[in-house]
Amino acid sequence: MTSSTISFQSVFRNQTIRQSIFDHVSLISQQQTSIGNPIDKIKWGPHQTNISLQGKDIVKLPHLAMISKYAMPWDFIKHYLPPRENVLFERRMHSITKYCGHPNARLDTLLQLLEWSPDYNPNQDVVTGLEKTYYSLLAINVVKSGHSDILTYLMNVYPNINLNKTKESAAEFGYLLILQILDTLEKGGNYSTNEMNRAAKNGHLSVVEYLHNQGAKCTDIAMDYSACRGHFDVLKFLHFNRSEGCTTDAMDGAASIGNMEILKFLHENRTEGCTNQALNSAAENGHLEVLKFIHLNKSDQCWTKQVMNVAAFKNHLEIVEWLHYNRSEGCTTNAMDRTTSLDIVKFLHFNRTEGCTKDAMDFATIDMTTSLDIIKFLNENRSEGCTTYAIDNVVLLENNFNIINYLTLYRTEGGSKKALENAATSNFCDLDMIIFLHETLHIECTEYVLVNAADKGRLDVIEYFHRLYPHRSDIWTTSVMNRASYGGHLNIVKFLHLNRSEGCTTNAMVWAAQRNHLNIVQFLHENRTEGATPKAMDMAAANGYFDILKYLHYNRNEGCSFEALDNATKNGFVEIIEFLYQNRTEGCSYQVLIKPNSQVATTYDALKYLIDNNALPATLLPDQLTKYKEYSKVSQDYEYIHLIDQYYQI
């Protein structure tokens, strides 16, 4: 058995290698947690699920992912590394570059990879100073991962690699040794103010001291950052050893995080002071001691009503009480309007005169644990009342019946049509609640009530309003069946077909095809006459819904457009591409050449099928060629680009 044919199982018989790989994969799995903007996660959920891969799965990944993405050790890689000549040059260069900057990279493995690819050469062009995309960010990523040994090796072997901003990154991440290496070898350029600013921001005192001794400069941002982040040792060093000083942002930031030590130091040793932002952020974050300190020591500070407003909004009763008894600014109606604390509502009501507006009762439902108690108190003790928003909003929330019932019994505002429209989409409103809103509160049914109900699969709501209003053309439209088709609710589609006359539009079948609802596509085809558009096949092809694609092809005559083959190719649906090529005549456009789905292993096979069958456009127009070249310069889809370049002899 040779190293090129050795099996995965035989490798794992070696206990040392097996344990090393398990440890490596486990570490990588921890690093491959959900990625994305935290706000996006709150709205839509994680972008990526942390699925732990086994070694045999990693081997199957395309584009040498075992090197570039998972940085597996050489003891693993060497058994599955293909011959150099079988891997595109650009892919080899890219994979090694990515490996170098991976947190798990090791110099011994890198040396083996370079022996496998001795043509690796990340030096910048001596004339233009440019570097290829597959070498981009090499040194910066090595620095960010803290690989001083790899960086030293690369600088010695490739003296012209791009070291731009490496000192900045080393300082930012606190890698003093790397900074010293760059200085010793006179690499990485001169220092700017960014290095010390970023080191101070992240609390790297040893780096700040080193940079200071090296003659590096900073700005007042350095001290501001250190104060805002709570890095007291860095702050003191900058104050006693440098002259840049700080701005009011320093004390504002210390107040925001409640760091009394820094706040007192700045007050006693600096003259910049703070702004009302210090007060607002301290109140918002519950830092009463900060407010007390500024109250006693900063007589010139500008206090405003906003301080009590934000304290109330964040439900900090102790701060609201202290401000009331120790300050004279008071608050505005926003304080009672925006709090979700019953205790604060009561305190403001009994001790202050600003009062509230209708917003207080309207927005009380933000926190369902206290909303009913606040609504009761406001109703029994104040006269502002509420608006229809109170009921309109609460139907979307869990455990809403008691609040709706109370508002109905003791208030007269009722709800607007938005209440019923929201209820039709709510997971917390059964049919009884829908009936209550409509018949007891006399909230009108609109087209959007039915559209929302169809979209959510609420056949009970559809049937109820059908019985009540069988002839209202203002609420029964084609949009109802369209949305039921989109949502995949065949029972509603059937009911509307059998009991209503509005029908649907071509969107019904298009959306059903787009959403992979084959049963609805079949029903619409067999029972209705509206038909579809080429978009139905286009969307089925783009999303890989082969059964729907075949059904539409064999049973309907709308056909598709070139977008079907374009998007199926970009997404790597080889089976669909073969079918379209063999059974359709629309072909593809030059768009098939641009931006394939890089996460899909089969995009290369998909494009190769088109090339092998001469299915690409015969020539490219000048503007098309320009767009392709612009894309190819920045693309990392090297194999894809290589096929196209060969085909068009670019």
**What is the DSSP code (8-state) at residue 125?**
P
Is the CB of residue 352 less than 8 Å from the CB of residue 330?
A: yes
Average pLDDT, the chain: 91
pLDDT at residue 48, as a whole number:
37
Number of alpha carbons in the 13 Å side-chain half-sphere of residue 580: 33
How far apart are the C-alpha atoms of 103 and 68, rounded to whole Å? 11
27: pLDDT confidence band, cut at 50, 70 and 90?
A: low
- Tens digits of per-residue pLDDT, 540-575? 999 999 999 999 999 999 999 999 999 999 999 999
Q: What is the pTM of this model?
A: 0.85
Number of domains composing the chain = 1
For residue 148, give both structure tokens: 């001083």
With a CB cutoff of 8 Å and minimum separation 6, the contacts of 599 are none
Distance CA 426, CA 87 (A): 54
- Joined tokens for residue 632: 């190819």
Mean pLDDT of 85-94: 95
- Closest CA relative to residue 544, chosen from 520, 522, 575: 575
At residue 635 the predicted structure's pLDDT band, cuts being 50, 70 and 90, is: confident
Lowest mean pLDDT among 34-48, 97-111, 372-386, 457-471: 34-48
Residues 6+ apart with CB under 8 A from 251: 227, 263, 266, 267, 270, 272, 273, 274, 278
- Residue 57 — pLDDT band, cuts 50, 70, 90? confident
- Using pLDDT thresholds of 50, 70 and 90, give the confidence band for residue 126: low
- pLDDT of residue 245 exceeding 70, the answer is yes
Residue 137 belongs to a domain: no
Length of the chain: 650
Which pLDDT band holds residue 636 (cuts at 50, 70, 90)?
A: confident
Do the Cβ atoms of 119 and 86 come closer than 8 Å? no
Is residue 474 exposed (0-12), middle (13-18) or buried (19+ Cβ within 10 Å)? exposed
pLDDT for residue 631: 86
Alpha-carbon distance of 650 to 645, in angstroms, equals 5
Average pLDDT of the residues in 265-285? 97
CATH number of domain containing 275: 1.25.40.20
For the cut 90, the answer to whether the pLDDT of residue 411 exceeds it is yes
pLDDT tens per residue across span 130-179: 678 899 999 999 999 999 999 999 999 999 999 999 999 999 999 999 99
- Look at residue 642 and tell me if it is in a domain: no
At 52, the pLDDT band (50, 70, 90 cuts) reads low
CB atoms within 10 A of CB 470: 11
Statement: residue 42 has pLDDT above 60: no
Domain assignment of residue 265, yes or no:
yes
Domain limits for position 294? 190-302
* Residue 35 clears pLDDT 60, i.e. is over it: no
What is the spatial distance between Cα 490 and Cα 327, in angstroms, rounded to a whole number? 64
- Amino acid present at 459: L
Report yes or no on 219 lying in a domain: yes
| Residue 373 pLDDT > 90 | yes
Instruction: Classify residue 239: in a domain, yes or no.
Output: yes
The region that residue 82 occupies, defined by phi over 0 for left and psi between -120 and 50 for alpha, beta otherwise, is beta
Position 312 pLDDT exceeds 50: yes
Q: Report yes or no on 139 lying in a domain.
A: no
pLDDT for 43 beyond 80:
no
Contacts of 461 (CB under 8 A, 6+ apart): 424, 431, 434, 449, 450, 453
CA dihedral defined by 494, 499, 501, 505, rounded to 10 degrees? -20
CA–CA separation, 315 and 309 (whole Å): 10
Checking if the pLDDT of 185 tops 90, the result is no
The verdict on residue 277 lying in a domain is yes
Q: Is the residue at 224 inside a domain?
A: yes
pLDDT in tens, 582-621: 999 999 999 998 888 877 878 989 999 999 999 998 888 8
